[in-house]
Amino acid sequence: MKSRASKPSNILDRRRLVLSACVIVCLYVLSINKEITKRSFETNLNLSEGTQTNKWMDTSGVSLFSVQGDPTKCKDVIYSADTRDPYSDVEWLSKGIESMEYITHASSVLRESTCYAFVKISSPFLDSSGRKLHPVWGRIPATALVMNVFPNAEIFLYMDSDALLPFSSNTPTMMYDELAFDGYGDNPSMTHLKPGLIVNKVKTGWMCSQCENYELEHGCFNSGTLLWNRTKAEPILREWWESRNTKDNFVHPETGEGFHGWNGDEEFRLSDKMGEQNRLMYVYGSNPLMQELIWPVPRQRSEGFNSLSCPNAVDKGHKPCLQNDASNRAEFDPSDSDKFCFVSHFCNHKDMVVEVADKIMTYKESPNSTEPL
């Protein structure tokens, strides 16, 4: 005959068994969801094979990590890339990516036609020859990968992981249509162009003085935000990627010194954080075809320095612009008077990524309206 004292122990054992079973079931469901997600990405990759335009590009060093939206339906894509897990304990990174995924769904304008994707860059990042490159080079194969995954999209907006949208009402296609109008600066043609890439000039600072000294004129770029048109992107991607194999560089007309970001031996050049940006500037400055395919903005001269290389301002006199690379205002959906650039890049203010991301996560639209509450 069992004693009554053993009953609570039996009940406790049964509860532990039930709890363990629940944990096992939950883990199994999570594994299934991960597998379904993985399969959906693989399916999309397979579906896009027939439309690939960048088969020459080795994309083994990058992988699609997450997608917001239907890859078969979106007309344009916003994407970011990093070596770190976006859901890691790096607060500004995790909050920034989460807010971008949120706003592409919460905004009725973006939800209608825009997808968001995050691409993971392998670390170390190696090219097909086994050479170690700085991870910033990963944005080139990441672009090729994203274009293949989203076969029906035409316009692609790359943003560094510390860049955010300051507005909820502009799709990449809208940005492209406005920025590709040649109606500003010296001798505008007043026509709508169709460049393969729109890139913003460096706003101000030491890099501007270097561009002036090397007489680069419009070819002074910040590659933290890139706006691509699929139809003319491939020649640029190919030329930019292949430029890592040459040591050619801009040379100062007086000192003979090479331009910042591409000096020293091959190992040093490939590991330089500014290397891929230097190479984009170089292919633009040295290849006439690239000057036809790449459209730097804003087009207006700097009023204070009479410079074509850098606007030295973010204001009504130098709009439209693609990105503000010196953002120091943590704003989202500001008033019309502040709408100068389509992307806020917080290169030196990671704390503001957190502030803006928190504001984005509170975004809600009023019923039957695209206006925020």
DSSP run (H or E) holding 158? strand 155-159
3 belongs to a structural domain: no
The neighbouring-strand residues paired with 296 are 199
CA gyration radius for the chain?
Answer: 24
Half-sphere exposure at residue 327, Cβ-oriented, CA atoms within 13 angstroms: 32
Q: Is residue 31 part of a domain?
A: no
Amino acid at 207: M
Position 368 in a domain = no
Decide if 232 contacts 293 (C-beta within 8 A).
yes
Picking from 144, 140, 157, 142, the residue whose alpha carbon sits closest to that of residue 74 is 157
pTM (2 d.p.) = 0.86
- Distance, in Å, from the CA atom of 153 to the CA atom of 95, rounded to the nearest integer, reads 26
Instruction: Evaluate whether residue 30 is within a structural domain.
Output: no
Of 228, 167, 200, 156, the closest CA to residue 320 belongs to: 200
pLDDT of amino acid 333: 83
Number of domains in the chain: 1
Q: Is the peptide bond before 172 cis (omega within 30 degrees of 0)?
A: no
Is the preceding peptide bond at 124 cis, omega within 30 degrees of 0? yes
Encoded tokens for 6: 């053993």
Predicted confidence at residue 316, as pLDDT, reads: 77
What are 29's two structure tokens? 């469901």
Count of CA atoms in the C-beta half-sphere (13 A) of 275:
29
pLDDT attached to residue 314: 77
Residues of the chain with pLDDT under 70: 1-53, 334-339, 367-373
25 burial (CB, 10 Å; 0-12 / 13-18 / 19+) is exposed
Measured between alpha carbons, how far is 314 from 329 in angstroms, rounded to an integer? 12
**CATH number of the domain within which 209 lies:** 3.90.550.10
Asked whether 310 and 208 are in contact (CB, 8 A), the reply is: yes
**Tokens 């335009």 -> residue:** 53
Give yes or no for a contact between 196 and 292, defined as CB atoms under 8 angstroms apart: no
**Both tokens of residue 58?**
């080795």
Q: Is 222 inside a domain boundary?
A: yes
The residue range of the domain holding 103 is 49-360
Q: What is the pLDDT of residue 32?
A: 33
248 within a domain of the structure (yes/no): yes
Write b or e for each residue in 340-352: b if 16 or more Cβ atoms lie within 10 A of its Cβ, otherwise e: bbbbbbbeebeeb
Residue 325 maps to a domain? yes
Question: In this predicted structure, what is the pLDDT of residue 318?
Answer: 78
| pLDDT for position 203 | 87
Q: Is residue 2 part of a domain?
A: no
